[in-house]
Amino acid sequence: MSTAIKDVNLEETLDHFQADSYSPYLFFSSDEWARFRADTPLTLTLDEVHRLRSIDDPIDLNEVRRIYLSLSRLLSSHVESSQHVFEQRNRFLSTNVTKTPFIIGIAGSVAVGKSTTARVLKELLRRWPSSPKVDLVTTDGFLYPNATLIRENLLNRKGFPESYDIGAILRFLSEIKAGQPNVKAPRYSHLTYDVLPDEYTVIDRPDILIFEGINVLQSRNLPRDGKIVPMVSDFFDFSIYIDAEESLIHNWYVKRFMKLRQTAFRDPKSYFHRYASISEEEALTIAEGLWANINLINLRENILPSRPRADLILRKGENHLIEQVALRKL
């Protein structure tokens, strides 16, 4: 069969899966999704939500009620089910090993609100009646240091798959899943725009780990010889993709950049301090260039293609609030 025929057949198959009846997802409006919270209590205050949200993210208590209480309840059921299956396997194998952490992956573009989602979820999950230990780690610390990126001519590819130490990520997650104590995650400074040398966050056998980053759902080429080549997402028990129209993410990215000129960039220690003193027109040109030449390319080539691999997709609208939830069918 020719390549052209194969491509046509593949496109027809992909179109087939776009139909709701064949989609691997169930779709809910935000109002429909909100009803699934049932009697899940709201354990966050308005001040706490304001502290947890990122710059220009309008999330409030109403958004927590609409979206995150239902999500917390769903995740609770997945964690409980995972524990139940684990106990059944222990009985089947006549073993008495300890359950390893439940890992939640959160992916999505820059400026789409991943960090806010991760922080809010962490606080909600750790306030369950069972008081689980919940930790949060981002992939920023697993970027190669700027010196390495400069040497390899990759600084303008920062955030692309090749700019991360994937081996270090896989070792970290494998140690977490193996139940190892005191696993170190490298730390990153958004002020200096670089990995902090010899600084780590120590993760000591949490019940739940949230692992957040733009590239955590990306796949990789498989070897021909059948050797084990794990993907980052192989370690996830549940995965979430934060989604929005490309044009909206573009606007949020530029708006955030311009806002940072008036805040974080004013710090003389900031890597981007030079952008605080230039004209607004010059800054806007730079922001648009960074979006078009780096972040948009990464979104189209690497991040967005990983969306169908998520268990849950949170789709945002123009106001930066979630309008639709897609949950993978079982």
Instruction: Assess contact for 248 and 316: CB atoms under 8 A.
Output: yes
Torsions phi, psi of 32, nearest 5?
Answer: -65, -45
Q: How far apart are CA 153 and CA 156, in angstroms?
A: 8
Q: What pLDDT shows up at residue 11?
A: 52
The CATH number of residue 294's host domain is: 3.40.50.300
Write b or e for each residue in 62-84: b if 16 or more Cβ atoms lie within 10 A of its Cβ, otherwise e: ebbebbbbbbbbbbbeebeeeee
Is residue 46 a part of any domain in this protein?
A: yes
What is the DSSP code (8-state) at residue 265? G
> Which pTM value belongs to this model?
0.92
Q: What pLDDT shows up at residue 36?
A: 97
Q: How many residues does the chain have?
A: 330
Is residue 74 a part of any domain in this protein?
A: yes
The one-letter amino acid at 121:
L
Q: What pLDDT shows up at residue 18?
A: 56
List, in sequence order, every residue forming a beta bridge with 195; answer none if it has no partner.
Answer: 188
Which pLDDT tens digit goes with each residue over 139-180?
Answer: 999 999 999 999 999 999 999 999 999 999 999 999 999 999
Is residue 68 a part of any domain in this protein?
A: yes
The one-letter amino acid at 148:
T
Instruction: Assess contact for 241 and 108: CB atoms under 8 A.
Output: yes
Is residue 5 a part of any domain in this protein?
A: no
User: What is the DSSP annotation of 153-188?
Assistant: T-GGGBTBGGGB-HHHHHHHHHHHHTT-SSEEEEEE
Q: How far apart are CA 302 and CA 297, in angstroms?
A: 8
Task: Report the domain count for the chain.
Answer: 1
Is residue 283 a part of any domain in this protein?
A: yes
List, in sequence order, every residue forming a beta bridge with 312; answer none if it has no partner.
Answer: 240, 327
The boundaries of the domain holding residue 83 are 22-328
Average pLDDT, 10 consecutive residues per value, the chain (330 residues): 52 52 92 96 96 92 97 96 93 90 98 97 96 97 98 96 96 96 97 96 97 94 81 97 98 96 94 95 97 97 97 96 97
Q: What pLDDT shows up at residue 326?
A: 98
- For residue 242, the Cα-to-chain-centroid distance in whole angstroms is 7
Token pair in block for residue 160 = 């692309």
Q: How far apart are CA 262 and CA 277, in angstroms?
A: 10
Sorted by sequence, the CB contacts under 8 Å of residue 268 that are 6+ apart come out as none
User: What is the DSSP annotation of 58-106?
Assistant: ---HHHIIIIIHHHHHHHHHHHHHHHHHHHHHHHHHT--PPPPPEEEEE
List, in sequence order, every residue forming a beta bridge with 240; answer none if it has no partner.
Answer: 106, 312
Is residue 8 a part of any domain in this protein?
A: no
Q: How far apart are CA 88 and CA 37, in angstroms?
A: 28
